[in-house]
Chains A and B, each alone.
Chain A
Amino acid sequence: MGHDHAAHDHGGYYVDQLCSLAACAALAVISVYLHVSGQLEFLAPEFRAPVLYGGLALLVLVFIRGVTLWYQVGRTVAHMHDHSHDGHQHTEECDHEHTAACDHDHSQDCGHDHAGVPIRYAVLVLPIIAFPLFLGGGGLSAKAAIRNMAQGATEDKQVAAKGGGTIALTLRDVQQTSYSPEKRAALEGRKVRIKGMFAQIDAQRFSLFKMRITHCVADAIVMDCRIISTVPLTKYRDKDWVSVEGQIEFHKLVGRDKYVPIIRLTNEADIDFTEPDASEYDYS
């Protein structure tokens, strides 16, 4: 497919190229900034370095393109100032177009769409503005975790307490145990201590949770343990880090082949604020 060279606006082309440079440079700087400032908590650790390298590679591209564009403009200005060729003086009355010296051949399809399309830069404004201004620290909200928790009613059952000391478990241990009938049978009824973020599902239901991510927060899975308490929990707010001690049980969801871990509290001393983990996320 050929190019209509006569209709090609070099001024528009250079403006488009400058916008491309600016957009790429902005995205590159933002990527590097987010990595250096430690705001990439929503990505697994092994995916943070690529953001930095991608930003640096983009900066190199911007630099090389900036230099070649500068050189290209220089040649254009030099050509426009060359007022004679073949004994012909360039005046306003000339009947041919005085084209700039391009560094690509417009006689055939060069694989670029040279028409400036401003709307694509408008789309790119979203990440350029949103990320530095609105990302900040912190993870997903408790509402996001609650939305992804198993919400249905559970079959009620009585579980006899088992002897033995208190076992310290992580939410990941509890989640893994809930998948296995043998592990559930072995642990159910024991006294355990679990640490996590508090979430109030509704007026009557509470939970401990932490988000487990593999690559990024879009693939996050909620690890949670419901709390059944005979003592009031009004002093705890969503995402407060608490340590909870009580009898662990696994109740089957009604109509589903899925077990929800539950911890029973009977004493105000069984739950208290605790030091937060290094991250709100569990990376695996």
Chain B
Amino acid sequence: MEDQVHDFIRLFASIFLEAMPFIVLGSVIAGFLEHFIPARWFTKIIPGNRPAAIALGCLLGLALPMCECGIVPIMRRLLRKGVPLSCCVAYMMCGPVINLIVLSSTLVAFAKYTGGWQMTALRGGLAFLVGFVTASIIDRMHRKHGNELLLPLARPGVGPDPDAEEMKGSFLTKIGRVAETGMHDFIDITVFLTIGAVLSALCNVLVSKDTVEELGNRSPALSVLAFMGLAIILCLCSEADAFVAASFSNLPPAPKLAFLVLGPMLDLKLYFLFTRVFGRRVIWTIVTSVIVQVFVYSMVVHYLMDPSIGSVLPPSAGD
């Protein structure tokens, strides 16, 4: 029992402290967005055509890389600036995967195995597809239900100049407001990070990765589902999860892809962070859409792709 408590504290601390600097960064950026960037800038750069806007949101991570924790406070402020909900959802889903840092780390993790490039391309491509479809569904919901889908803290302002008050004041006054907004967002997000990290650490203590792997050997569908469950429980950073997935070297690519695509989009910690932005209807739509799509696409990969991709060492591979 003492060992389990000891392990729990360490796991909780590792998840919490790894995420915390990025939440500070995201909160400070969110503060600057709120008080220095007027809403009309965003309405100018976002394409009028909705599918194009969603596609832009999916690829925004290439210009603004941010981990899944730091994205949430930024996204809340972007929503208040009038950036369409669908674009924000697309960025939230895809930003933590489709960025140069994560794609590079995926390539490095699978470099020793056959088809490292294919695994990286599949991860990026499937993430784009899941993000695009999910954001499109959310867009249709938003056209029907409007801003009641969002928490009041995330709703855009009204009127021709909705952020006139936030933009007022001297530079020092605005810096003070940035600090107030940043601190508020940091506290708000960190509370739910704490809850998610506690649950993840508990699951880590109780569930063995080897058990999940063994479960996965029984059938392709069970394998994919088991690794999707593992991704939700472990709450890993999107830069590190590629190395964890690569370590299951005797498994085909489908469950590993499910792990790599689902994890940055949905895990225990992220679920609680979503509750600070979205209403319940949006959260469950996102959860359902992501889980169903990741499962279906992973099964398609299982039946269409070479099972040795991302698994087998090339004959001449060194250490």
Contact between A135 and B182 (Cβ–Cβ < 8 Å)? no
Please give me the residue from chain B that is nearest to A139 by CB atom. B10
Task: Tell me, yes or no, whether B187 is within 8 Å of chain A by CB.
Answer: yes
Q: How far is the CB of B23 from chain A (nearest CB, A)?
A: 8
Main secondary structure of the interface of B (DSSP, over half): helix
The one of A27, A47, A130, A141 in contact with B190, judged by C-beta atoms closer than 8 angstroms, is: A27
The one of A62, A180, A215 in contact with B313, judged by C-beta atoms closer than 8 angstroms, is: A180
The one of A120, A180, A218, A221 in contact with B187, judged by C-beta atoms closer than 8 angstroms, is: A120
Contact between B186 and A218 (Cβ–Cβ < 8 Å)? no
A residues 120-143 in Cβ contact with B at 8 Å: 120, 123-124, 126-127, 130-131, 134-135, 138-143
A215-B210 contact in complex given A65-B179, A255-B217, C-beta closer than 8 Å: no
A214-B243 contact in complex given A20-B183, A43-B18, A120-B187, C-beta closer than 8 Å: yes
The one of B22, B183, B241 in contact with A24, judged by C-beta atoms closer than 8 angstroms, is: B183
Q: Which residues of B contact A103 (CB under 8 A)?
A: 173, 176-177
A135-B10 contact in complex given A27-B20, A61-B186, C-beta closer than 8 Å: yes
Task: Tell me, yes or no, whether B11 is within 8 Å of chain A by CB.
Answer: yes
Question: What bracket does the count of chain B residues touching chain A fall in?
Answer: 35 or more
Contact between B208 and A215 (Cβ–Cβ < 8 Å)? no
Please give me the residue from chain B that is nearest to A255 by CB atom. B217
- Give A contacts to B, CB under 8 Å: 1, 20-21, 23-24, 27, 31, 34, 40, 42-43, 47, 50-51, 53-54, 57-58, 61-62, 64-65, 67-68, 103-105, 108-113, 120, 123-124, 126-127, 130-131, 134-135, 138-144, 147-152, 173, 176, 179-180, 182, 214-219, 221, 255-258, 284
- Give B contacts to A, CB under 8 Å: 3-4, 6-7, 9-18, 20-25, 28, 34, 77, 80, 152-153, 155, 157, 165-166, 173, 175-177, 179-184, 186-188, 190-191, 194-195, 198, 200-201, 204-205, 208-210, 213-214, 217, 234-237, 239-241, 243-244, 247, 249-250, 313, 315, 317, 319
